[in-house]
Amino acid sequence: MAEADLMSSPVGQKPVYWDPYEPEVFANPYPMLKRLREEAPLYYNEKYDFYAVSRYEDCIAVLGNRDDYISKHGGVIEVMKAGIEVPSGMFIYEDPPLHTAHRRFFTKVFTPKHVAALDTQIRDFCVKALDPLVGGNEIDFIEHLGAEMPMRVIGMLLGMPEEQLKDAQRNVDESMRTEPGQQNENSGDSLAGEYYADFVDYRIKNPGDDLVSSLLNTPFDDDKGVTRTLTRAEVLSMVALIFGAGNETTNRLIGWTAKLLSERPDDRREVHANPAMLPEVLEEVLRYEPPGMYIGRTVVRDVEFHGTKVPAGNALLAIVSAANRDEAKFPNGEVFDIHRGRQPHLTFGYGFHNCLGNALARVEGRIAFEEVFKRFRDWEVDLSRAKMSSTATVRGWESLPARI
Ligand code: HEM
């Protein structure tokens, strides 16, 4: 076991060991993450060969510094270790100058107007999904809402027809799924966006009033200062990015909100009586149960944390799920408190790559639960039938049945 694994474990306790794939830790990672913050603020995992920081300030130091930490080798352990050549356009895994050019371009074509325009469609979808459940005795927050709504919202945004949307979703699910305790060997498969080729080709021939048509036809200044439009390959990767980044993550947010409120009847009734609290409640859900456990970077210059060197070339994870409960930043960080107010949690990342879909995810969560609360004041999740998803990177529920 490496030196950092053993750092200052109290006498009588097992050394700190954090394996993000280990089913028991995956089911409830927080006791171990607390120990990481306290006992091994720089942690090294020998089995998967990665370093990790878990304190808030350390995560900020990593995510806010793109000279020493880069994204181009990926942000999840499997991709980083597989040595996958990330295709151009998957800008979550790019560095300057290409990242700067692609991100600037994307913020030009994906504006707050797009998000606002989706408002009514999101609500209509939720109404259609929830109305048939009224008068019954069960809802599955994932089957009826989480697995459906964010996917359709991405479809609305991209202008993708229903059948293609479902196919794409199936492919992405398959590329993300892991056996319990195992790494995902297919994690690089979806990056080039070949699943979306038919659809993008259709839009090349039939431009419309949708995001993909804007991606295809809006000129931008690329990393070499040349004014051009995106190549077909870049568009495919950007579609894959939006699909991958905006779908399962928001699904997990819906699941965690339902579960946390199920377990807290007083909070639930308070929100039911005052749905204007929902944005604040969702912030606390995001802080407390972030869909993404960590954000990975590759170290390009030797760096040091807490007296230990991390040599260049290593994978370093900023464990945002641990940072979000760091007592130094969030008093009573282990407590879920719907009155905490908006807090600078790291669930959407920090700095250069921070999430460009955060406003959309927040709108989706708010509208979903506004519509839930219009119909149901009480629900109780049946944990004996609920199932956690087996994707190691985006932690949450695959089915979440609840009595209503
Ligand atoms: C609760 C839901 C969501 C969570 C927790 C989430 C989380 C994140 C995180 C942590 C990052 C930063 C990764 C890094 O620093 O390497 C990120 C980036 C990104 N997200 Fe999200 N996301 C969510 C929803 C969405 C949605 C709905 C979209 C769709 C438009 C989206 C699009 C993106 C894009 C395009 C990036 C790349 C930004 C860049 O690299 O410059 N996300 N997201």
Res 393: pLDDT? 76
Q: Tokens in use for 28?
A: 């409830």
CB 21 within 8 A of CB 294: no
CB 14 within 8 A of CB 279: no
C-beta of 29 in contact with ligand 1 (< 6 A): no
CB 316 within 8 A of CB 69: yes
Question: Three-state DSSP class for 138?
Answer: strand
**What does the pLDDT average to over 352-379?**
97
C-beta of 211 in contact with ligand 1 (< 6 A): no
Question: Three-state DSSP class for 16?
Answer: coil
Pairing of strands 401-403, 42-45: unpaired
Q: In whole numbers, what is the pLDDT of the chain averaged over residues?
A: 91
Res 30: pLDDT? 96
Using alpha carbons, list the distances in angstroms from residue 292 to 215, 224, 301, 347. 27, 33, 26, 7
Ligand 1 centroid, distance to 247 Cα (angstroms)? 10
Contacts for 167 with CB less than 8 Å, ≥ 6 apart: 195
Res 385: pLDDT? 96
Please write the tens of the pLDDT for every residue from 101-159.
Answer: 999 999 999 988 888 889 999 999 999 999 999 999 999 999 999 999 999 999 998 88
**What does the pLDDT average to over 12-36?**
87
CB 400 within 8 A of CB 259: yes
**What does the pLDDT average to over 337-359?**
95
Q: Which atom of ligand 1 is nearest to the CA of 92?
A: 40
Res 3: pLDDT? 42
Hey, which of 86, 293, 317, 355 would you mutate to test ligand 1's pocket, going by the most ligand atoms within 8 Å of its Cβ? 355
Query: How far is the C-alpha of 92 from the C-alpha of 86, rounded, in Å?
Result: 10
Please write the tens of the pLDDT for every residue from 28-70.
Answer: 999 999 999 999 999 999 999 999 999 999 999 999 999 999 9
**DSSP assignment string, 283-316:** HHHHHHS-SB--EEEEE-S-EEETTEEE-TT-EE
Prediction pTM value: 0.93
Please write the tens of the pLDDT for every residue from 129-141.
Answer: 999 999 999 999 9
Residue of minimum CA distance from atom 15 in ligand 1: 353
Residue of minimum CA distance from atom 14 in ligand 1: 353
Please write the tens of the pLDDT for every residue from 261-297.
Answer: 999 999 999 999 999 999 999 999 999 999 999 999 9
C-beta of 345 in contact with ligand 1 (< 6 A): no
Query: In which residue are the tokens 């966006």 written?
Result: 193
**What does the pLDDT average to over 382-399?**
89
C-beta of 324 in contact with ligand 1 (< 6 A): no
Asked if omega into 31 is within 30° of 0 (cis), the reply is no
C-beta of 91 in contact with ligand 1 (< 6 A): yes
- % of the chain beyond a pLDDT of 70: 91
Residue 262 — φ and ψ, nearest 5°?
A: -60, -40
CB 47 within 8 A of CB 2: no
**DSSP assignment string, 105-133:** HHHHHS-HHHHHHHHHHHHHHHHHHHGGG
C-beta of 357 in contact with ligand 1 (< 6 A): yes
**What does the pLDDT average to over 344-357?**
97
Domains, in order of start, for the chain: 3-403 (1.10.630.10)
Asked if omega into 97 is within 30° of 0 (cis), the reply is yes
Reply yes or no on whether the pLDDT at 183 is more than 60.
no
Reply yes or no on whether the pLDDT at 371 is more than 90.
yes
Query: How far is the C-alpha of 343 from the C-alpha of 340, rounded, in Å?
Result: 7
